[in-house]
Amino acid sequence: MIPALTRRALVAGLSAAVAVGAAPAEAVTEDAIAAIERRRGGRLGVFVLDTGSGRTLAHRADERFPLQSTFKGILAALVLSRVDAGADGLEREVPYGAKDLLPASPVTSAHVAEGRMTVGGLCQAILERSDNAAANLLLARVGGPAALTAYARRLGDPVTRFDSYELVRNSLTADCTTPRAMAGLARTVVLGDALRPSSRALLLRWMAANVPGRTRLRAAFPGWTACDRTGTAEGVCNDYAVAWPPGRAPLVVAAYYHAPGLERETQEAALRQVGAAVVAWAG
């Protein structure tokens, strides 16, 4: 269950995100995101698209940031596209052993004695628990980082690049994206026709259950339906989400935060403030 912000916490987040003395929907601009960056430190990139009106909110939207585990959402989409094409199956089994395990691999570690997991189980593990060993198993299965980059190009993204297996992802020149580019990919795979409806529904369900996302953007979306994919490393705290305000067209939000030296809690608080700013901006 996604924890809801208290009214007091939400008001505090909005106060930090918008200019004093102006109506929230009018006041939230790029300056509001820049203010979060100034207060917290580091470099914060944000891109938001209201798919109903076409309005956008951007701050450092075309600067490159390390992907970290946000790549797993696109990896799962590629796997599902292969299932749609008959090149793979969710029930097919993938063998692995203790040598394949990595730090932060809770699901594959729990099943290592069985010696195998299904393709669907591995996809669920990377989206709900950000399982690193599961990501490497799936990445090898689809043809490696180059195949994932090629998939992004087929989806119309000329920017995002995937170069490495886990746990080698913390670069501004490799394994990187921009907030605008990732928002475009998220829109295509979650809201577009890149996947069959049944596969898209699975992707949405798994992303909505993303455990790390409970304390980032989604925590600031009051009563909204939302799904997201996070990415984390030393000095890096990322999240992108698709969110449905009641009775409204969905918003696509990408927030990438590179802040070496800041504690994780401080980084996540900054993303919650971004989420609160998005709520105010959406009106």
Asked if 219 and 272 touch (Cβ cutoff 8 Å), the reply is yes
CA pair distance 274, 218, nearest whole angstrom: 10
SS3 78: helix
CA pair distance 241, 212, nearest whole angstrom: 12
The answer to whether the bond into 167 is cis (omega within 30° of 0) is yes
CA pair distance 258, 232, nearest whole angstrom: 10
Active-site annotation holder among 37, 69, 128, 199: 69
CA pair distance 83, 29, nearest whole angstrom: 41
Is 114 noted as a catalytic residue in this protein?
no
- Hey, what amino acid is at 57? L
Asked if 142 and 105 touch (Cβ cutoff 8 Å), the reply is no
Is 166 noted as a catalytic residue in this protein?
yes
242: which 2 tokens? 């698709």
CA pair distance 222, 35, nearest whole angstrom: 22
Active-site annotation holder among 37, 128, 166, 268: 166
Active site residue ranges = 69, 166
